[in-house]
Structure 1
Amino acid sequence: MEKEKQKEEESPKELPSDVLYLIIEKFDIDDLFSFRKVCKHWKMTSDYWSDFMASDSPLIVQKTPNAERSCSFYSIPEARTFDTSLSCFNGFSFARFSSGYMIMVGDKPDLLLINPFARKRIEIPKQDDLFSVKNSSFKKAIVANSSSSSEEFIVVILNDHEFNESNMLVYQSRVRNPAIYSSRDNGDRFNVDDVVVFHKTIYAITRDAEIGVVMLEPQGLRFLNLMNNPENYGLLKLVNSNDDQLLVVNHLPYPRFEIYMIDFSARTWIKLRTLGDRSLFSVKCNPKCYALSNPARWGFRSNCFYRLSSCYPKCEVFSMDGQFIETISIPEYPVPTNTTSQLLNYDWCFRPRRDVVDYGNLIESLSH
């Protein structure tokens, strides 16, 4: 009886919460993930994990393109690197980070989507030559769950094709064969540069500054009739600001940029002079954008534009009027000796924000 009592007293659940906190704040991502599985008590008292996952502060992905395990996440405010040793990269190269997933490009299947925080894995089967994804041609992917069932999801992938044309693939978990939206379909030469989930609807923007809703039935884009489109535009990116506004970032010759808000009630573009208590985060060579509200809470400046280099360990900060503020240096993650690549890919990682779509918004009705 005394031995059983002693064993119970020494069990993991008897560790005080403050001691647990001191332990887990030193952990990497894999350690945090495994820690919660030890016992129910540890899962319930690991507030650090909950805070880590709930944080809106972006991390920076550091990934060697063709190395199997070389991956880390760097926090600018904490000046700390979180390592991970996920071993499911074999045969794939890292392309982008999007919607909480690492997008890995391979041969069969074409795409592997890995959520490093939830250990969730999605395989996108290889398509025909029209949508043969390569690392150099991959642009973006978004993953969204259905509002009616958390088990159903939609993956939208943008891919550049030959002759400077773009294709869009819509993969639904409920449908066996993905739909491919080609710029050559039916003579409708739309070249989609970006997609985003906003108000449970998937919006797309073309190279001609047209904004449309991605439709599943009938397949295609239903364009919005908007006024005051920008006269001069470069690369256009959509941003869900997470405060009930859909933004468009107009990337002009570096380092210039413009920010617009889409006013759906007035059906017009509105140029913004300030972001208020928000900041934007982009990647220089593939300037997709994210918005962060109340950035000072997470250690970032308000009303600024953070532009991360995709190949060099630095992040440049600009004011809304395009004035350079500072360069933030990022510690270089060591390149493993078992790879021929000496480069790292850098990308922004916002911890999983659960995008949700309503299938009803993606099906044409008689009212339109």
Structure 2
Amino acid sequence: MDSCDVRSWCDLPEDLLELIIKGFDLKDIVLLGAVCVSWSSFVRKIPKVPLLLFTERGNWGDSLEWFYSLSDGKCFRLPNQGAPRGRCCGSFERWLIIDMDHQYSLLDPFSNTQILLPPLCEEVEGLRMAILSSAPILDSNNNIVNYNECMIVGYSEFEKLGFYRLGDKTWSLLEVEEYCEDFIFSEGRLYILTSEAGLIVWVLSPNPRCRMKCPVNFRYAKMHLKKLVESGGELLLIGETEEEDFRVFKLDRSSAEWNWVAVESLGDQMLFVSRIDSKSLSAIDFKFWGLRGNHIYFTIYNWDDHYHDLCAFNLEDREIDFCFQIDSGSAEDVILVAQNSQ
């Protein structure tokens, strides 16, 4: 064969590389990217699988960030470079909302960037869970450049809602009389889910104000876990019965009386649900990692042996598939955290 006909391994087309890495774990894919420039460019295009962060409920020790990689089934901790450790009560992308003995901060555990928050207002103590409207954008000097877009809402152990906008001097109280099951930022508004699956809608800019209260028709209101997720432009309600049977509904706002309408299929979307964290992801983005669309991923904590079972509920046949077991120690809560880009 003429030497001019010989092609370099570096020239393999990307569709062939996709076939090659189907059986690879995360470590193998990282090594593949180190072979040459063209393979490194290919690997950088692959969306990284989010990590599972395990955090202890009510604990303020020094062992917060230990993660579980869904792609290669391994636990690891990030090196401590002086960032706080404590209980994580919420996240947005890779930013964590940290409670370190009631001193709150935002933490990017991958870059070790920390943003200190002021103390909670007097009416709000001990956040049980919290959400962030968007990720902080920092300049080269680590100064925040999008103050007005970054808002935090937290729900306390005493069933009070606190509100904070980055750059403000203090937190403020959002007056809500009903018990709060969950809450979510959507289209610039805060949607609060009540115990009867009704919604309270707040407008937060320029100043927080309650815009409407909507008792939503819903015959599954007694489900013991109800979480809100935004997926494909729709506001979804995920409910779980005591038999670990999941139901999904979307909010129908086409008439004056809002309704939760049953969703039979998520298509290529998959949902991750835990007590303090819920997210919607595209299974197409993570096709190399074996994650499947039209599934709801959740964990079951074994109190006796201190481990989590990661399970997947199939909305089509309504069966639960066991994925794998994770030795999680005394960490009861699970949060899905996006990885930083390469």
TM-score normalised to structure 1 length: 0.66
Q: Which residue of 2 aligns with 1:21?
A: none
Is residue 305 of structure 1 aligned with residue 296 of structure 2?
Answer: yes
Is residue 107 of structure 1 aligned with residue 107 of structure 2?
Answer: no
Q: How many residues align?
A: 289
Change (3 A) 1:352 1:268: farther
Paired residue type of 1:303:
N
Q: What is the distance in 2 between the residues matched to 1:326 and 1:26?
A: 24
Q: What is the distance in 2 between the residues matched to 1:98 and 1:209?
A: 23
Q: Which residue of 2 aligns with 1:294?
A: 283
Contact 1:313–1:346 under 8 Å retained in 2:
no
Q: Which residue of 1 aligns with 2:53?
A: 61
Name structure 2 gaps, 5 residues minimum: 1-9, 11-25, 29-38, 138-144
Secondary structure of the 2:123 match is helix
Q: CA deviation at 1:255?
A: 0.7
Residue among 181, 184, 190 paired with 1:193: 181
Residue among 87, 94, 107 paired with 2:87: 94
Contact 2:64–2:86 under 8 Å retained in 1:
no
Contact 1:281–1:308 under 8 Å retained in 2:
no
Q: CA deviation at 1:236?
A: 2.1
Is residue 212 of structure 1 aligned with residue 200 of structure 2?
Answer: yes
Paired residue type of 2:132:
I
Q: Which residue of 2 aligns with 1:362?
A: none
Q: What is the distance in 2 between the residues matched to 1:197 and 1:62?
A: 24
Q: Within 5 Å, give how 1:121-136 maps onto structure 2.
A: 121-133=114-126
Q: CA deviation at 1:207?
A: 1.7
Relative contact order (alpha carbons < 8 A, sep ≥ 6): 1 or 2 greater?
1
Q: CA deviation at 1:204?
A: 1.8
Identity of matched residues, %: 19
Change (3 A) 1:203 1:93: same
Name structure 1 gaps, 5 residues minimum: 1-15, 17-24, 28-44, 184-188, 334-341, 354-368
Q: Within 5 Å, give how 1:305-324 maps onto structure 2.
A: 305-309=296-300, 312-320=307-315, 322-324=318-320
Q: What is the distance in 1 between the residues matched to 2:201 and 2:294?
A: 29
Q: Which residue of 2 aligns with 1:155?
A: 152
Secondary structure of the 1:349 match is strand
Is residue 348 of structure 1 aligned with residue 335 of structure 2?
Answer: yes
Contact 1:202–1:213 under 8 Å retained in 2:
yes
Contact 1:69–1:87 under 8 Å retained in 2:
no
Q: What is the distance in 2 between the residues matched to 1:230 and 1:129?
A: 37
Q: What is the distance in 1 between the residues matched to 2:212 and 2:45?
A: 40
Contact 1:138–1:160 under 8 Å retained in 2:
yes
Q: Which residue of 1 aligns with 2:109?
A: 116
Is residue 249 of structure 1 aligned with residue 238 of structure 2?
Answer: yes
Q: Within 5 Å, give how 1:219-230 maps onto structure 2.
A: 219-223=208-212, 225=214, 228-230=217-219
Paired residue type of 1:157:
G
Q: Which residue of 2 aligns with 1:38?
A: none
1:278-332, CA deviations, whole angstroms, 9 ceiling, x for partnerless residues? 221112xx163211222561421221121123562321222225422224122x3
Change (3 A) 1:314 1:89: farther
Q: What is the distance in 1 between the residues matched to 2:207 and 2:333?
A: 37
Residue among 151, 157, 168 paired with 1:175: 168
Contact 2:121–2:171 under 8 Å retained in 1:
no
Q: What is the distance in 1 between the residues matched to 2:109 and 2:299?
A: 21
Q: Which residue of 2 aligns with 1:85?
A: 79
Q: Which residue of 2 aligns with 1:260?
A: 249
Q: CA deviation at 1:51?
A: 4.8
Paired residue type of 1:344:
A
